[in-house]
Structure 1
């Protein structure tokens, strides 16, 4: 009963955060969510827990697809084009990593997303909307 209440509290807290967050903060949250899902997927791959691996990597892919859909190709120019290609690479290799139960490839994808998140988090305040 306590665990269920805690889960419900976290859900309400997350919803409140999302409703009040800036677009910049929302993208940061999506990147963090993708990284968490990939990390869990990697752990499941290492344990050979195929069902958990598939579930976590599917969640990660959904988040990356969401990030891809947020790209503003008109105003983002070369940065948006590069991120679009990077997200395509990540999505294709997520499928490969899942199919081959390849924890090393998952780690590579984590590294790529970490670079994106670090760059995003270091964006100067005047460019955050």
Structure 2
């Protein structure tokens, strides 16, 4: 009647939990999680590379690239975001290319470079919410639009 642990059932509950969380969090928090995901994936890739775990490195870099491409780049508000959205798009593209090169060359320095580029953006993004400053608004896209106060 009841079976022991079922990975399929556990995964179903995990998916429901993630989907529920995404519907209840605001767009600002979602972008924060995307930045965190990129940084964590790169850290995981660096660790895997240090251990000689090629598959782990490839999977972690792939995850970071997907977050940059599908999460952060596609959600940029290119209409109202102006120069800021343009600059973030260029940064994300540069980081994607550096990660691909880091993967091909097994180059830890390139992964560190991407982390150094993304960390201040992520920190700044998180500070916007903490400070409650009216100088930035978050439209439905979740990406910042600067507004003159």
Shorter-chain TM-score bucket reads 0.7 to 0.9
Q: 2:66 matched to 1:45? A: no
The aligned counterpart of 1:22 is 26
Q: TM-score, length-normalised on structure 1?
A: 0.88
Looking at both structures, which has the greater relative contact order when contacts are Cα pairs under 8 Å and sequence separation is at least 6?
1
The aligned counterpart of 1:102 is 107
Question: 2:102, 2:6 → 1: CA distance?
Answer: 33
Question: 2:36, 2:60 → 1: CA distance?
Answer: 14
Q: 2:61 matched to 1:57? A: yes
Which residues of structure 2 form unaligned runs of 5+? 140-149
SS at match of 2:128: coil
The aligned counterpart of 1:83 is 88
SS at match of 1:75: coil
Deviates more, 1:50-59 or 1:11-20: 11-20
Q: 1:24-82, CA deviations, whole angstroms, 9 ceiling, x for partnerless residues?
A: 11111111111111110111111221111111100110000020000011111111111
Question: 1:44, 1:80 → 2: CA distance?
Answer: 32
Question: 1:32, 1:2 → 2: CA distance?
Answer: 30
Q: 2:128 matched to 1:118? A: no
Per-residue deviation, 1:7: 6.1
